């Protein structure tokens, strides 16, 4: 049996298991920290087997997070630290009805989304049904595009929580 | 032409429709609620689409969700199964408005046969005898009392928009009628959105007999014999069989022919069922019509050899009747047992939970239409039907003997079921001699029937 959502999301990567995630971080961390220092980039993100590891320069990262989210702890931005690592938490934003999808214009990979924001509509016989973000975060991956048929509960895109500031 | 069918139902009937579609070479998409993501129809289907949460109002009863799902998955037809939206004219109309084929009677026909009171009057005009009753809907309590006086007590109050045994109350005298009238109207309003009530003479110990009919778009109407559905509990059918033990061959022949002729002439289309009560004179009197495929349709399939779901789909697609009345020659005797997740020892309380072990019966002339599998979680949200055991025999006696063997072979662990109740029933003299009336359960008592069931340890030895 292939469920509708399996067919529609044939490229969806699975959730990594905890131990796999641990091993992945152990292997990638030193390499990524070195590369961050070499390049002077604010942030590096690597995706393997459906799990994402992001390494970010603290001063830059927290400012970004603070801009998008609830205020970070006041001292955090001021206190520079070499880097922080988060095996980012991903939240799927799901279709609230069965029908045809329209993504809101501002939704693209890398976009910041506030909790409760209107991120898409599903058209049910001509009537739009709202899809709102259940979490705040950054759009990590799109799973459906405008015009796609979606079923109830189908993943539309993945949101990644933004470090310590994200709730 | 129908190429791709959205199956807008669940449980065993979703599986039954899926099988018919595959046999006809049609693509099928199973629509399911979140609670049914692991249902057998979803697992077996080539494609399935989630239409909403467990709450049926937002899934199986949501016309927008179902039609939207059909459009999103590229279907050109919707099969509503039974229950849910299967007889809803507004739904059928919306389906047609989106250029999809509704597999069932069209919206105008559902509308025409929606009112039970009006249908009784219409079919009486076309030559079907009806139970004495009120002249259509009774406006108020005074009108009900007036009508009951003419009909004679006891009377039964029925919701004009009702079905599935709901919205019915019996009144033995005027005091009871006064007491029950407003309650019944309120119940009907709550259950069906229509508080209209009509009255019929109540026949307490009688046979409930129904005729399976099919009518093509040209009005060619055939009957496929009768089913006896007398064994009921609170107007819910438990056992159905064909032929009925209540009809003489002469009465049967005349009655079946008359039913087919009347329903064709009255303008009905697609498959349907005419329900009758057998009067004290041994003749059937029309009570109501069901404008859908019925739960107990396999009983007829087994004795006639006609695939009624395939026929229903073909007729909805505009096909002419593919057979003549003389081609339909019922053979032998078939009995169906509705195996439900209900505990007969606890007043048939509905059960939910995981099926920890499952063994389906099999063998010659044994059919078990069921969506069960070991590990399946019976959700608490929907009706409690787990499967239908249909057994055929050359005679009623042979069918009963084979039913005993099949019921003993059936094993469902994890939830209480009605299996043992049926094993007890098959030891009951009333059932064995064919005296199965609508009041049999009240007369004999559930406890006595359960006590007659063979001990379960005996089954284990044979396992």
What does the pLDDT look like over A143-158, one tens digit per residue? 999 999 999 999 999 9
Residues B286 and B241 in one domain: yes
Residue B17 has pLDDT above 80, yes or no: yes
Determine contact: B57 vs chain A, CB below 8 A: no
Structure tokens at B234: 């609170």
Put simply, the answer to whether A151 touches B68 (Cβ < 8 Å) is no
Kindly state the average pLDDT of the residues A25-35: 64
Cα B272 vs. chain centroid, distance in angstroms? 10
First-to-last C-alpha distance (Å) of chain B: 48
Whether residue B158 is found in the same domain as residue B264: no
Q: Does B55 touch chain A (CB under 8 A)?
A: no
Question: Which chain B residues have a beta carbon less than 8 Å from that of A121?
Answer: none
> Cβ contact (<8 Å) for B73 and A125?
no
Chain A and chain B share a number of CB contacts under 8 A equal to 67
Residues of B whose CB is below 8 A from A127: 64
Residue B40 belongs to a domain with what CATH number? 3.40.50.20
Q: Which of B184, B201, B218 is the last residue of a domain?
A: B201
- pLDDT beyond 70 at A164: no
- As for how many domains chain B has, the answer is 3
Q: Which of A82-91, B75-84, B146-155 has the lowest mean pLDDT?
A: A82-91
User: pLDDT tens across B30-55, in order?
Assistant: 999 999 999 999 999 999 999 999 99
Query: Is 80 exceeded by the pLDDT of residue B221?
Result: yes
**DSSP string of B334-384, one letter each residue:** EEEEEEESEEGGGTTEE--EE--EEE---STTEEEEE---TT-EE-TTS--
What is the pLDDT at residue B203? Answer: 86
A46 is written with which tokens? 């690597």
B76-96 residue pLDDT tens:
999 999 999 999 999 999 999
Note the pTM of the prediction, 2 decimals. Answer: 0.83
Put simply, the answer to whether A151 touches B51 (Cβ < 8 Å) is yes
Q: Active-site residue among B233, B252, B269, B292?
A: B292
pLDDT at B357: 98
State yes or no: pLDDT of A46 exceeds 70.
Answer: no
Note whether residue B68 is domain-resident.
Answer: yes
Domain regions of chain A by residue span: 18-87, 89-160
* Residue range A129-137: mean pLDDT, rounded: 95
State which residues form the domain around B24.
Answer: 4-103
Claim to verify: residue B35 and residue B71 sit in the same structural domain? yes
Q: Which of B201, B227, B247 is the last residue of a domain?
A: B201
* Same-domain check for residues B315 and B439: yes
Q: Residue B206: which of B284, B297, B310, B138 has the closest Cα? A: B284
Cβ contact, residue pair A3, B48, below 8 Å: yes
Determine, yes or no, domain membership for B108: no
Does B124 reside within a domain?
no
Please, which pLDDT band fits residue A40 given cuts at 50, 70 and 90?
A: low
> Which of A98, A102, A128 to mutate to test binding with chain B, by most B CBs within 10 Å of its CB?
A98
B319-326: average pLDDT: 98
Instruction: Give tens-digit pLDDT for B365-421.
Output: 999 999 999 999 999 999 999 999 999 999 999 999 999 999 999 999 999 999 999
Q: How far apart are CA B318 and CA B403, in angstroms?
A: 38
| Cβ <8 Å between A1 and B48 | yes
Shared domain check, B456 and B325:
yes
Residue B114 forms part of a structural domain:
no
Q: Encoding tokens for residue B260?
A: 């087919």
Residues B327 and B455 both lie in one domain = yes
Structure tokens at A40: 């002077």
Domain annotation covers residue B111: no
CATH class (in words) of the domain with range A89-160: mainly beta
A42 band by pLDDT with thresholds 50, 70 and 90: low
- Contacts with B68 from chain A: Cβ below 8 Å: 97-99, 123-125
Residue B161: strand, helix, or coil: coil
Instruction: For residue B429, tell me if it sits in a domain.
Output: yes
| B215 and B186 inside one domain | no
Residue A2 and residue B44: Cβ atoms within 8 Å?
no
State whether B137 and B88 are in the same domain: no
B132-138 — which CB contacts under 8 Å span 24+ positions? B132/B200, B132/B201, B133/B198, B133/B199, B133/B200, B133/B201, B134/B198, B134/B199, B134/B200, B136/B198, B137/B196, B137/B197, B137/B198, B138/B197, B138/B198, B138/B199
With respect to residue B123, please indicate whether it lies within any of the assigned structural domains: no
Q: Which of B201, B218, B239 is the last residue of a domain?
A: B201
**What tokens were used for B114?**
């929606």
B235 shares a domain with B181: no
Average pLDDT on B55-62 reads 97
CB pair distance less than 8 Å for B72 and A127: no
Structure tokens at B25: 């070479």
Nearest CA distance, A51 vs chain B (angstrom)? 26
- CB pair distance less than 8 Å for A124 and B45: no
Are B288 and B390 members of one domain?
A: yes
Q: Are B263 and B213 in contact (CB under 8 A)?
A: yes
* B126 domain residue, yes or no: no
pLDDT band at B167 (very low <50, low <70, confident <90, very high): confident
Average pLDDT, chain A: 70
**Residue B362: predicted pLDDT:** 97
Higher pLDDT, residue B261 or A38:
B261
| Complex confidence, ipTM | 0.87
Given a cut of 90, is residue B462 above it in pLDDT? no
Find the CATH number of the domain harbouring B141: 3.30.1490.20
CA–CA gap between residue B400 and residue B393 (Å, rounded)? 8
pLDDT at res. A84:
46
Pick the residue of B28, B68, B90 with the most A CBs within 10 A to test the interface with A by mutation.
B68
Q: Are the beta carbons of B224 and B311 closer than 8 angstroms?
A: no
Mutate to test the interface with A, among B40, B47, B49 (most CBs of A within 10 A): B49
Query: For this structure, is B250 an active site residue?
Result: no
A63 pLDDT above the threshold of 50: no
- For the stretch B331-373, pLDDT in tens is 999 999 999 999 999 999 999 999 999 999 999 999 999 999 9
Residues B443 and B389 in one domain: yes
pLDDT at residue B413, as a whole number:
97
Per CB-CB distance under 8 Å, the chain A contacts of B4 are none
Burial state string for B87-99 with b = 16 or more CB within 10 A and e = fewer than 16? bbbebbbbbeeee
C-alpha pair distances (Å), B391 with each of B155, B170, B423: 36, 34, 14
**Average pLDDT of chain B, as a whole number:** 94
The least confident of A70-79, B171-180, B367-376 is A70-79
Residues B368 and B310 in one domain: yes
Query: Cα B67 to chain center, whole Å?
Result: 24
pLDDT tens per residue across span B103-119: 999 999 999 999 988 99
Nearest-CA distance from A128 to chain B in Å? 12
């Amino acid at each position: 049996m292939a469920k509708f959502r399996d067919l529609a999301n044939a490229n969806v990567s699975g959730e990594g298991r905890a131990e796999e995630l641990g091993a992945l971080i152990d292997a990638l961390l030193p390499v990524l920290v070195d590369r961050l220092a070499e390049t002077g980039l604010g942030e590096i993100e690597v995706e393997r087997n459906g799990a994402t590891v992001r390494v970010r320069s603290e001063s830059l990262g927290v400012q970004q997070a603070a801009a998008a989210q609830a205020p970070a702890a006041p001292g955090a931005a001021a206190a520079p630290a070499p880097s922080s690592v988060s095996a980012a938490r991903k939240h799927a934003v799901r279709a609230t009805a069965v029908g045809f999808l329209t993504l809101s214009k501002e939704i693209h990979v890398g976009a910041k989304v506030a909790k409760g924001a209107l991120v898409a509509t599903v058209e049910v016989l001509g009537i739009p049904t709202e899809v709102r973000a259940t979490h705040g975060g950054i759009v990590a991956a799109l799973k459906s595009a405008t015009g796609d048929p979606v079923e109830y509960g189908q993943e539309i895109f993945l949101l990644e929580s933004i470090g310590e500031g994200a709730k | 032409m129908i190429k791709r069918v959205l199956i807008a139902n669940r449980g065993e009937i979703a599986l039954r429709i899926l099988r018919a579609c595959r046999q006809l070479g049609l693509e099928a998409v199973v629509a399911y609620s979140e609670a049914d993501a692991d249902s057998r129809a979803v697992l077996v289907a080539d494609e399935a689409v989630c239409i909403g949460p467990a709450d049926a109002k937002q899934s199986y009863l949501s016309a927008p969700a179902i039609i939207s799902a059909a459009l999103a998955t590229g279907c050109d037809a919707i099969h509503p199964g039974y229950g849910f939206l299967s007889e809803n004219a507004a739904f059928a109309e919306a389906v047609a408005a989106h250029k999809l084929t509704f597999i069932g009677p069209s919206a105008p026909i559902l509308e025409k046969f929606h009112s039970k009171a009006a249908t009784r009057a219409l079919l009486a005009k076309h030559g079907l005898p009806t139970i004495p009753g009120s002249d259509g809907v009774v406006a108020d309590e005074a009108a009900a009392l007036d009508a009951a006086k003419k009909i004679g007590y006891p009377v039964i109050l029925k919701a004009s928009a009702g079905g599935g045994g709901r919205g019915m109350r019996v009144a033995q005298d005027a005091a009871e009628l006064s007491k029950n009238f407003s309650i019944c109207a309120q119940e009907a309003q709550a259950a069906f959105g229509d508080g209209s009530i009509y009255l019929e003479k109540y026949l307490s110990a009688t046979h409930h007999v129904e005729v399976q009919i099919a009518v093509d778009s040209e009005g060619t109407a055939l009957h496929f014999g009768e089913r006896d559905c007398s064994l009921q509990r609170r107007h819910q059918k438990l056992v159905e069989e064909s032929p009925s033990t209540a009809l003489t061959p002469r009465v049967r022949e005349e009655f079946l022919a008359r039913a087919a002729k009347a329903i064709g002439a009255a303008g009905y289309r697609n498959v349907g069922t005419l329900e009758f009560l057998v009067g004290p004179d041994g003749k059937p009197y029309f009570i109501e019509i069901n404008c859908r495929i019925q739960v107990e349709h396999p009983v007829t399939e087994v004795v006639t050899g006609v695939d009624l779901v395939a026929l229903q789909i073909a007729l909805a697609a505009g096909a002419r009747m593919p057979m003549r009345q003389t081609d339909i020659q019922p053979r032998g005797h078939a009995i169906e047992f509705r195996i439900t997740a209900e505990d007969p020892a606890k007043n048939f309380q509905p059960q939910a939970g995981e099926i920890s072990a499952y063994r389906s019966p099999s063998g010659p002339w044994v059919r078990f239409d069921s969506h069960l599998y070991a590990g399946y979680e019976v959700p608490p949200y929907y009706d409690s039907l787990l499967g239908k055991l249909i057994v055929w025999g050359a005679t009623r006696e042979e069918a009963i003997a084979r039913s005993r063997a099949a019921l003993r072979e059936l094993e469902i662990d994890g939830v209480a079921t009605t299996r043992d109740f049926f094993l007890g029933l098959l030891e009951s003299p009333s059932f064995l001699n064919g005296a199965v009336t609508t009041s049999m359960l009240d007369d004999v008592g559930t406890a006595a029937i359960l006590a007659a069931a063979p001990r379960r340890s005996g089954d284990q030895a044979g396992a």
